[in-house]
Structure 1
Amino acid sequence: MKPKKRRRAGGSVSRINLKDVAAAQPATQVLLPFESCGGVKHWVMLAIPVLLTVLYAYWPTFLWMEDAWRNEPDYSHGYLVPFLTLMLLVHRGDMFPGIRPSVSYKGISLIVLAILMRFAGRFLYMDFLDAYSLLPLIAGVVWTLLGSAALKWSLPAIGFLFFMIPLPYQAESLLSWKLQGVATSLSTVFLRVLGQPAVSEGHVIWIADQRLLVEQACSGMRIFIGVAALAYFWAVMVKRTWVDRVVLLASVIPLAVFVNAIRITVVGLLYQWVSGEQYRHGIHDWSGYLMIPTAFALLWGVKKFWENLYGPVEHLTARDFVKSTG
């Protein structure tokens, strides 16, 4: 009689097939370099019909945006946004992750979202919603053709296109109204510090018996949008931590309000010495021209100050330390 084999506690032991385990593991996404996916000619031939389709479908929207760029000073920077977007892509070219060899059908969801936004914009007479649908459309095309990794790489540049689209009228009016009030109050404080008998009533500053009206065009909206676009551009361009980028973006609102208040203060002081309407008109216009480069210079100063205050930390291993000490 053969002796029985002892069975381990807990039941029988089953064999594990390593091939089955490997197959059960989620496969990593294969990404191919740009050169191995048909070359430049292949992608140019693929991009031309896509661009022509977008131009045909969005031509009225592009005309609406161009009209705002041409006639509204707050959005005159819109002509530069597409070129700066290409510059961002070129700058981030060394971080390009690669192209997915197959089509990513999940990207169609963003294209469908863009189509729904267009329908809503048409039926609700919201031109801005039609324009904003460009962002998910471009993101969806990139996701579908190039993959999710390429989408993450291009998102900062796609987000920058937001600054070429005029804000909704309600949002623009509300923001402009708030900026007017803050600029009026801050300018009144500056004038008092400089010894002027200034009193504010709403959006009007009384300096002795002279009335200085802070109109909507002087609310600082142009500075705010321009500085915000530049801060976003710098935040993407610089190779710093996300904290540094947040600090740069957070400085936009106080910096725009400060520069606009300085402009109103200077105009109020010069109006005390200049009485001619023609000269006052020139002071008003030239102060508006100078406030944009002034705001850019201050933003650059904030950027350099923060970089010098918190420089990047260099991590050294023990071997690097020994080599550096000789």
Structure 2
Amino acid sequence: MRRRISSHILVINPKLNPVGQYAQVAPMPTQIPGPLAGKYSWLRTIVLFGLIGWLYFSIMLHLVGQWWQDPNFSHGFFVPAFALFVMWQDRARLVGFVAAPSLWGLGIIVFALCVLVVGVLGAELFLSRISLLLVIAGLIVYFRGWRFFRAILFPWAFLVLMIPIPAIVFNQITFPLQLLASKVAAAVLPWAGVPVLREGNVINLPAMALEVAEACSGIRSLLSLGTLAIIYGYLMESRISIRIILAVASLPIAVAANSLRIIGTGLLVQYWDPQKAEGFFHVFSGWLIFVVSLAMLFALHRLLLVKTRGRRHVCEF
């Protein structure tokens, strides 16, 4: 009788009759043994992260330096820390995902590298930095799949806030904020008995002229408050709609708080001492107004809770 033997190694025992007798049939190995597979997997991971570190080392070094030196973007230190915290908090669910690698990840990685090349050649820091997030997204999709990427979409998208906005966009936002704060202060100060003559972003008072400079435009508190509003909404509120309202409300709250700061400075100059508008009091007022902004954000959240609680009672009734 003919025997079918597929994918096997035939080991012949010489002591037996060599005609049609097989002493042992051993299966042919079809994959790398477990320890070796784990070793090569770790080696591949180390090489991959080494290449990414080599590509983005100088870019990340400059980014951290900008966080440290530019007060407008000092909130960048907290962004990756919070993103890691969110993933760590959700680690039990993330570990349960079955890996479903997708070749679309390679396409995302190639696109990210093209963005990196354009950013480096064009000396555009924003493109160079944003390409890192695209590379991270591509790696996640390639190794873990789209389902896993959707599970960590929030912390990944939150990382965008750590990247300073381009200078051209920054300037387009800052100057209108300067004019808006000047207009609000010039409209309110006369109600407090302070004569005002506004010329652009300069408020002329009887005691001295106040210039609403870029640092006083409110862009710093706007970026920081927006980031904190997202963090606060994630930690304190489970409903997506309320989180969105809190994040969007941070814009008018920051503008209103900055206008209050300029109005307070005008009153300080007119009724106390013009020198108090500079130095310690000026810096302290910035911190004080930011605390007021946080209080306004908290008050808005409490108000939304009261309103939604009332609606629930009506529905239950």
Query: Against the structure 1 CA distance between its residues 166 and 99, is the aligned structure 2 distance closer, same or farther, given a 3 Å change threshold?
Result: same
Query: What is the percent sequence identity of the aligned residues?
Result: 26
The residue aligned with 2:61 is: 63
Query: Against the structure 1 CA distance between its residues 44 and 214, is the aligned structure 2 distance closer, same or farther, given a 3 Å change threshold?
Result: farther
The residue aligned with 1:113 is: 111
How big is the shift at 1:146?
Answer: 1.5
Is the radius of gyration larger for structure 1 or structure 2? 2
Q: Contact 1:91/1:237 (CA < 8 Å) preserved in 2?
A: no
Q: Contact 1:227/1:296 (CA < 8 Å) preserved in 2?
A: yes
Partner AA of 1:280 in structure 2:
E
Post-superposition Cα deviations, 1:208-235, rounded to whole Å, max 9, x if no partner, equal 3521110011100100100111122234
Aligned positions of 1:184-223 closer than 5 A: 184-223=182-221
Q: Which residue, out of 284, 291, 294, partners 1:293? A: 291
How big is the shift at 1:270?
Answer: 1.2
Counterparts of 1:129 and 1:271, CA distance in 2: 44
Counterparts of 1:155 and 1:90, CA distance in 2: 14
Q: Contact 2:178/2:216 (CA < 8 Å) preserved in 1?
A: yes
SS in 2 for 1:192: helix
Q: Which residue, out of 131, 138, 141, partners 2:139? A: 141
Query: Against the structure 1 CA distance between its residues 42 and 88, is the aligned structure 2 distance closer, same or farther, given a 3 Å change threshold?
Result: farther
Query: Against the structure 1 CA distance between its residues 112 and 309, is the aligned structure 2 distance closer, same or farther, given a 3 Å change threshold?
Result: same
Counterparts of 2:312 and 2:49, CA distance in 1: 44
**Alignment RMSD, CA only?**
2.8
Query: Against the structure 1 CA distance between its residues 253 and 239, is the aligned structure 2 distance closer, same or farther, given a 3 Å change threshold?
Result: closer
Q: Which has the higher contact order (CA 8 A, sep 6+)?
A: 1
Q: Contact 2:208/2:274 (CA < 8 Å) preserved in 1?
A: no
Matched, 1:252 2:233: no
SS in 2 for 1:240: coil
Query: Which range moved further: 217-226 or 292-301?
Result: 292-301
How many residue pairs were aligned? 277
TM-score in terms of structure 1 length: 0.76
Counterparts of 2:45 and 2:190, CA distance in 1: 60
SS in 1 for 2:193: coil
Q: Contact 1:99/1:147 (CA < 8 Å) preserved in 2?
A: no
SS in 2 for 1:96: helix
SS in 1 for 2:210: strand
SS in 1 for 2:279: helix
Partner AA of 2:139 in structure 1:
V
Structure 1, unaligned runs of 5 or more: 1-40, 318-326
Counterparts of 1:74 and 1:166, CA distance in 2: 9
Aligned positions of 1:14-29 closer than 5 A: none
The residue aligned with 2:71 is: 73
How big is the shift at 1:178?
Answer: 1.1
